[in-house]
């Protein structure tokens, strides 16, 4: 799946959640299932997708939220934060050392 298609799928899932009249566990699970399906179709590692889903459910505990909180906003922010965590896990990238030989293998060039 191309990145644009992934973006459309995630946007569509969040839009369906926004259009729901009541945000409950069913709506949250439908949204997360659609996002999960899109990520798996885009060849994202299963463990990362499973962790994303459990982290979002942990952050967005609908039963413990007070009545005044905006559930849509909390879910949207949790999805955004977890997708950012997948893209940037917080580990420093590879930096070659000066004066030391480094071997780099390029895979998938020219198709």
Q: What is the pLDDT of residues 38-51, one digit of tens each?
A: 999 988 899 999 99
% of the chain beyond a pLDDT of 70: 95
How many CA atoms are closer than 13 Å to the CA of 61, on its beta-carbon side? 6
Other C-beta atoms closer than 10 Å to the C-beta of 83 total: 17
Task: Please state the separation of Cα 99 from the chain's center in Å.
Answer: 39
Tokens of 70: 């905006």
Q: How confident is the model at residue 111 (pLDDT cuts 50, 70, 90)?
A: low
Q: Give domain 3-87's CATH superfamily.
A: SRP54, nucleotide-binding domain (1.20.120.140)
Enter the pTM of the model: 0.75
Q: What single-letter DSSP state applies at residue 104? A: -
Q: What is the pLDDT of residues 58-87, one digit of tens each?
A: 988 877 776 777 888 888 999 999 999 888
């Amino acid at each position: 799946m191309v990145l644009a298609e992934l973006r459309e799928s995630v946007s569509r899932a969040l839009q369906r959640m926004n259009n729901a009249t009541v945000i409950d566990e069913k709506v949250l699970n439908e949204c997360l299932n659609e996002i999960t399906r899109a990520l798996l179709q885009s060849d994202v590692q299963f463990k990362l997708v499973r962790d994303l889903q459990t982290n979002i459910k942990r952050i967005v505990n609908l039963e413990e939220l007070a009545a005044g909180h905006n559930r849509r906003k909390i879910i949207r922010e949790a999805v955004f934060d977890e997708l950012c965590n997948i893209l940037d896990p917080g580990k420093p990238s590879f930096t070659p050392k000066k004066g030391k030989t480094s071997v780099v293998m390029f895979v998938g060039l020219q198709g």
